[in-house]
């Protein structure tokens, strides 16, 4: 784990996707952009005095911008009191304290060249996958990288341009989007109607590839638990299933 | 109620100003008087910035690792070019933690286990070897070269057995060993490599900092070293699992990630299942390793945060002092074996080591005694032959070959300092004393 550090950052962009989902970017001094794709940060809305090391209440968010280049970006969904506060308080120019990096959900440290990589994301759970996906290009050594991304509807679909760009720039990358409300083949990445499910994943991978793949799960705890159990039932070994276990 | 109308920041500024004033009085430079001013082999090199930082940290009164530790660790990691740098109480503790980390269950079956053999040398500092013994493994001793004072790589090749699982070596006095050759062996035999860089901060091999070739590197901040925090050390690595193991061993063996003043960093403080503990047992008190408490104070780290800014100039000064000695000693090559840098390296010299040749009409000890009488400090090459030391006479070990160079180093080698507190007049005086002594013995 890279040494975590606490820094003050300024909100430089807020994107309201609707349905209580936001993307927020923070200006951060370049020298502090030290993290790995898949790691997360703590954000606090309260004041923090570095000369008095008590860290205030904070929440964790996956970093969805690539390492080493600013700004640093997160996505959040309004679900409770703290995220409601974020919705009210995170406006352009607001100063907040961040501490990062944390977490071991670092895909490229857990896979080998030639592996089949399967990313399964629910809602904002796609965030930790984005820096990894953005790092893919035609020189990537993996046999394949498949993304299965479940969303409630088109409004809350995140990172469309990043996914399109990755698909264009990397032949081994294949994204599927499962939309609970509609099927639409005309979107830049076609939407399949239905809930994201293990059957939906299995039927889109040939059987050989399915059992050989390494699976990365990110999303709500219920979703992660469901996929973990179902993958095990399908004969996938536990050491080939990786979860974003930090809340 | 405070009896002042000044703000905290105004008071801090005032104190910083007073510290500068104090520094100028207390530590004003003194003229060098040959023959009475001691010529030290090492020492602290600092100005008001280190003291101001230490006072600043004292005013915070956070005491344990805090903002300065964060800053120092990050600056250090950036300097050597790794992801992870973890402060600890000494270079010896850094060695202990680096070695302990390689026994961690986090590393799976490849981890070090009791009975494994680890290759090292006897001509060095004991705490490079001690963790091997303390973790019930078997040190395998091979010989070193005279001149670089580093391991003879051919002997490592020959000493490797099926039980050999690692190599633990210091870059002697700042001069790196043949890292290309050693890394080839590491890869071929799937060995762990710990690079003890306690005397080698700033040294590069093919342009890359030592300590970043193997799995984990260590460094010391004792006052004799390249930078100091009094008592301190650093473990550094690019491997996130080793870094996690080091942190855990350092911090009581606990599984928790939180630093002082933090809670629930992982977000699972009361929901995890660990060992045979009840579900949700407070993660703050979950111990996944049998660890230590080897953390520093933020006051020490504050000194380090100031020192590391000066490291590039310190390294250059050490190189320059080495070159100055080299110029003088060239004239005495008849009686001394002179040091030389390992090919492809750019050492940040800890010292200038020389070995008295067999044909010299004086012994090492006679010469160093003479120098001590004339206020010039020298040091032997640490433990000499460690296996002759009382504590090591009966350890379980394997010795490859005769260690004849190690034996010669024990008898005939000493070193002079290269630290940035030295200057041309001090070195010139030192060499005048050596020259006078040599001449007096040659004439007899």
Q: Which residue has the tokens 């039927």?
A: A203
- A174 and A198, same structural domain? yes
Of the two residues A52 and B19, the one the predictor is more confident about is B19
Query: In the predicted model, is pLDDT for residue B37 greater than 90?
Result: yes
Give the percent of chain B with pLDDT over 70: 100
Q: In this structure, are A202 and A229 located in the same domain? A: yes
Q: In which band, very low, low, confident or very high, does the pLDDT at A3 lie, cut at 50, 70 and 90?
A: confident
**Would strands B351-356 and B413-417 be described as parallel, antiparallel, or unpaired?**
antiparallel
Same domain, A168 and A116: yes
Q: What is the spatial distance between Cα A181 and Cα B172, in angstroms, rounded to a whole number?
A: 68
Q: Does A246 touch chain B (CB under 8 A)?
A: yes
- Give yes or no for A54 touching B (CB within 8 A): yes
- Report yes or no: A1 and A102 within 8 Å, Cβ to Cβ: yes
Which residues of chain B does A60 touch, with a Cβ-Cβ cutoff of 8 Å? Answer: 267
Residue of chain B nearest A104, judged by CA positions: B240
Nearest to B177 by CA among B143, B151, B214, B155: B151
Q: How confident is the model at residue B443 (pLDDT cuts 50, 70, 90)?
A: confident
Query: What integer pLDDT is reported at residue A1 of this predicted model?
Result: 58
Q: Which of A102, A133, A165 is the C-terminal boundary of a domain?
A: A102
**Could you report the per-residue pLDDT of B298-308, keeping only the tens digit for each?**
999 999 999 99
In 3-state terms, what secondary structure has residue A113?
coil
* Residue B389 confidence class, pLDDT cut points 50, 70, 90: very high
Mutation to test the A interface, candidates B9, B56, B60, B70, most A Cβ within 10 Å: B70
Q: Cβ of B84 and A3 within 8 Å? A: yes
Task: Choose the closest CB to A53 out of B66, B73, B74.
Answer: B66
pLDDT tens track for B235-248: 999 998 999 999 99
Residues A196 and A113 reside in one and the same domain: yes
Residue B148 CB partners (closer than 8 Å, separation 6+): B172, B175, B177, B339, B340, B341, B342
Paired tokens of B290: 């049998």
Q: Which CATH number fits domain B311-443: 3.90.1300.10, 3.30.70.270, 3.30.540.10, 3.90.1150.10?
A: 3.90.1150.10
pLDDT at B6 over 60: yes
Per residue in B44-93, pLDDT (tens digit) is: 999 999 999 999 999 999 999 999 999 999 999 999 999 999 999 999 99
pLDDT digits 0-9 by tens, B271-325: 889 999 999 999 999 999 999 999 999 999 999 999 999 999 999 999 999 999 9
| Residue where a domain stops, chosen among A81, A102, A123 | A102
Residue B232, CA atoms < 13 Å, CB-side half-sphere? 27
Please give the residue of chain B at the shortest CA–CA distance from A57: B263
Given A102, A126, A156, which residue is the final one in a domain?
A102
Average pLDDT of span B373-386: 98
Q: Both A147 and A194 in a single domain?
A: yes
A239–chain B nearest CA distance, Å? 12
Q: Counting beta carbons within 10 angstroms of the beta carbon of residue B114, is it exposed (0 to 12), middle (13 to 18) or buried (19 or more)?
A: exposed
Q: Are residues A118 and A153 in the same domain?
A: yes
Q: Could B74 and A55 be called an inter-chain contact, meaning their C-beta atoms sit closer than 8 Å?
A: no
Among the options B225, B226, B283, B289, which is catalytic?
B225
C-alpha–C-alpha distance, residues A122 and A219, integer Å: 5
Predicted pLDDT at A246: 59
Please report, for the domain that includes residue A52, its CATH number.
Answer: 2.40.30.10
Taking CA atoms, A203 is separated from A93, A197, A225, A233, B170, in Å, by 47, 10, 20, 15, 56
ipTM of the shown complex: 0.83
For residue A227, give the CATH number of its domain. 3.40.50.80
Mean pLDDT of chain B: 97
pLDDT band at B4 (very low <50, low <70, confident <90, very high): confident
Of A1, A53, A55, the CB nearest to B244: A1
Q: Are A207 and A172 members of one domain? A: yes
A213 and A158 share a domain?
Answer: yes
The reported pLDDT for the residue numbered B406 is 98
- Kindly determine whether residue B70 and residue A3, on different chains, have CB atoms separated by under 8 Å: yes
pLDDT tens figures, B416-436: 999 999 999 999 999 999 999
pLDDT of B98 strictly over 60: yes
Residues A97 and A195 reside in one and the same domain: no
pLDDT of residue A206: 80
Contact A3 B74 (CB under 8 A): yes
**Residues B213-230 as b or e (16 or more Cβ within 10 Å = b):** bbbbbbbbbbbbbbbbbb
Contact A3 B86 (CB under 8 A): yes
Question: Is residue A247 predicted with pLDDT exceeding 60?
Answer: no
Mean pLDDT for B136-146 is: 98
Active site residue B171: no
pLDDT number for residue B395: 98
Question: Could you tell me the CA-to-CA distances from B188 to A102, A121, B191, B211, B436 in Å, in that order?
Answer: 33, 40, 8, 19, 51
* Secondary structure of chain B as H, E, C letters: CCCCCCCHHHHHHHHHHHHHHHHHHHCCCCCCCCCCCCECCCCCCCCHHHHHHHHHHHHHCCCECCHHHHHHHHHHHHHHCCCEEEEECCHHHHHHHHHHHCCCHHHHHHCCCCCCEEEEECCCCHHHHHHHHHCCCEEEEECECCCCCCECHHHHHHHCCCCEEEEEEECHHHCCCCHHHHHHHHHHCCCEEEEECCCCCCCEECCEECCCCCCEEEEECCCCCCCCCCCCEEEEECCHHHHHHHHHHHECCECCCCCCCCCCCCCCCCCCCCCCCCCCCCHHHCECCCCCECCCEHHHHHHHHHHHHHHHHHHHHHHHHHHHHHHHHHHHCCCEECCCCCCCEECCCCEEEEEECCCCCCCHHHHHHHHHHCCECCEECCCCCHHHCHHHCCCCCEECCCCHHHHHHHHHEEEEECCCCCCHHHHHHHHHHHHHHHHHHHHC
pLDDT band at B107 (very low <50, low <70, confident <90, very high): very high
- Longest Cα–Cα distance of chain B, Å, equals 82
CATH assignment, B55-299: 3.40.640.10
Closest in A5, A54, A245 to B70, CB measured:
A5
The Cα B190–Cα B187 span in angstroms is 5
Q: What is the model's pLDDT at position A209?
A: 83
Beta carbons of A133 and A163 less than 8 angstroms apart: yes
Assess whether A47 and A165 both reside in one domain. Answer: no
Secondary structure class of A86 (helix, strand, coil): helix
Mean pLDDT value across chain A: 92
Do residues A26 and A7 lie in contact, with contact meaning Cβ atoms separated by under 8 Å?
no
Cβ atoms within 10 A of the Cβ of B107, count?
17
A-B interface: how many C-beta pairs under 8 angstroms?
A: 67
Instruction: Determine the pLDDT at residue B113.
Output: 98
Radius of gyration of chain A (CA): 18
Closest to B254 in 3D by CA, of A48, B137, B262, B72: B262
- Size (chain B), residues: 444
Spell out the domain ranges in chain B: 55-299, 311-443
Distance, in angstroms, between A5 CA and closest chain B CA? 6
Q: Considering chain A, what percentage of its residues have pLDDT values greater than 70?
A: 98
List all residues 6 or more positions away from B2 whose beta carbon is below 8 Å from its beta carbon: none
Residues A188 and A139 in one domain: yes
Query: How high is the pLDDT of residue A2?
Result: 74
**Which pLDDT does position A231 carry in this prediction?**
94
Calculate mean pLDDT across residues B130-152. Answer: 98
List of chain A residues whose C-beta atoms are within 8 Å of the C-beta of residue B266 = 102, 246-247
- Best mutation site among B56, B76, B264 for testing chain A: the one with the most A CBs within 10 Å? B264
Which of B60, B66, B83 minimises the CB distance to A2?
B83
Structure-token match 């003050």, residue found: A8
**Chain A hits for B67, Cβ within 8 Å:** 6, 50-51, 53
How many CA atoms within 13 Å lie on the side-chain side of B21?
6
Per the structure, the complete domain to which residue A218 belongs is given by: 107-243
Q: Are residues A80 and A178 in the same domain?
A: no
Q: What is the pLDDT of residues B314-354, one digit of tens each?
A: 999 999 999 999 999 999 999 999 999 999 999 999 999 99
Dist CA A125 CA B100 (whole Å)? 36
Contact A51 B60 (CB under 8 A): yes
Q: Mutation target for A interface from B258, B267, B284: give the one with most A CBs within 10 A.
A: B267
Q: What percent of chain B has pLDDT over 90?
A: 95
């Amino acid at each position: 784990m890279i040494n975590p550090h606490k820094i003050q950052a300024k909100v430089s962009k807020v994107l309201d996707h609707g349905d209580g989902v936001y993307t927020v970017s923070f200006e951060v001094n370049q020298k502090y952009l030290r993290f790995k794709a898949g790691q997360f940060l703590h954000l606090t809305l309260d004041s923090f005095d570095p000369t008095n090391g008590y860290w205030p209440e904070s929440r964790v968010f996956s970093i969805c911008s690539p390492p080493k280049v600013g700004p640093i970006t997160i996505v959040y969904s309004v679900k409770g009191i703290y995220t409601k506060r974020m919705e009210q308080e995170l406006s352009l120019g607001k100063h907040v304290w961040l501490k990062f990096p944390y977490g071991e959900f670092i895909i490229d440290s857990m896979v080998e060249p030639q592996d089949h990589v399967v990313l399964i994301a629910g809602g904002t759970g796609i965030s930790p996958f984005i820096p990894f996906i953005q790092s893919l290009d035609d020189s990537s050594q993996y046999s394949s990288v498949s993304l299965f991304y479940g969303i409630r509807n088109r409004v809350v679909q995140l990172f469309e341009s990043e996914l399109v760009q990755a698909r264009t720039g990397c032949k081994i990358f294949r994204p599927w989007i499962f939309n609970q409300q509609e099927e639409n083949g005309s979107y830049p990445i076609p939407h399949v109607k239905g809930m994201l499910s293990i059957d939906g994943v299995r039927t889109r991978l040939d059987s050989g590839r399915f059992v050989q793949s390494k699976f990365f799960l990110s999303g709500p705890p219920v979703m992660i638990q469901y996929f973990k159990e179902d993958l095990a039932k399908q004969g996938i070994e536990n050491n080939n299933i990786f979860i974003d276990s930090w809340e | 109620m405070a009896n002042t109308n000044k703000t905290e920041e105004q008071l801090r500024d005032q104190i910083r100003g007073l510290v500068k004033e104090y520094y100028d009085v207390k530590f004003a430079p003194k003229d060098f008087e040959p023959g009475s001013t001691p010529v030290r082999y090492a020492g602290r090199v600092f100005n008001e910035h280190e003291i101001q930082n230490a006072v600043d940290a004292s005013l915070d009164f956070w005491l344990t690792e805090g903002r300065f530790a964060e800053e120092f660790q990050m600056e250090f990691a950036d300097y050597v070019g790794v992801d992870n740098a973890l402060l600890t109480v000494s270079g010896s503790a850094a060695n202990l933690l680096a070695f302990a980390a390689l026994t961690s269950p986090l590393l799976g079956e490849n981890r070090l286990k009791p009975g494994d053999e680890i290759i090292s040398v006897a001509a060095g500092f004991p705490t490079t070897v001690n963790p091997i013994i303390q973790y019930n493994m078997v040190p395998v001793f091979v010989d070193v070269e005279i001149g670089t004072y580093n391991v003879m790589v051919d002997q490592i090749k020959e000493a490797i057995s099926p039980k050999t699982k690692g190599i633990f070596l210091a870059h002697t006095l700042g001069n790196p060993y043949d890292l290309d050759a050693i890394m080839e062996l590491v890869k071929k035999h799937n060995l762990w490599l710990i690079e003890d860089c306690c005397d080698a901060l700033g040294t590069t091999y093919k342009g890359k900092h030592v300590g970043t070739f193997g799995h984990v590197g260590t460094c010391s901040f004792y006052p004799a070293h390249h930078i100091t925090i009094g008592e301190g050390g650093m473990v550094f690595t690019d491997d996130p699992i080793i870094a996690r193991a080091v942190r855990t061993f350092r911090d009581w063996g606990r599984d928790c990630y939180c630093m002082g003043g933090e809670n629930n960093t992982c977000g699972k403080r009361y929901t995890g299942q660990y060992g045979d503990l009840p579900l949700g047992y407070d993660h703050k008190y979950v111990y996944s390793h049998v660890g230590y408490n080897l953390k520093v104070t933020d006051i020490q780290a504050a000194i380090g945060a100031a020192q590391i800014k000066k490291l590039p100039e310190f390294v250059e000064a050490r190189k320059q002092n080495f070159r100055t000695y080299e110029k003088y000693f060239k004239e005495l090559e008849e009686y001394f074996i002179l040091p030389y840098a390992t090919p492809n390296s750019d050492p940040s010299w800890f010292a200038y080591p020389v070995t008295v040749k067999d044909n010299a009409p004086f012994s090492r000890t006679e010469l160093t005694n003479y120098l001590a009488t004339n206020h010039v400090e020298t040091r032997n090459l640490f433990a000499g032959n460690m296996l002759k030391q009382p504590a090591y006479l009966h350890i379980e070990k394997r010795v490859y070959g005769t260690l004849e160079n190690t034996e010669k180093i024990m008898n005939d080698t000493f070193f002079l300092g290269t630290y940035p507190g030295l200057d041309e007049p001090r070195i010139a005086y030192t060499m005048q004393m050596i020259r006078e002594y040599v001449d007096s013995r040659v004439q007899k």
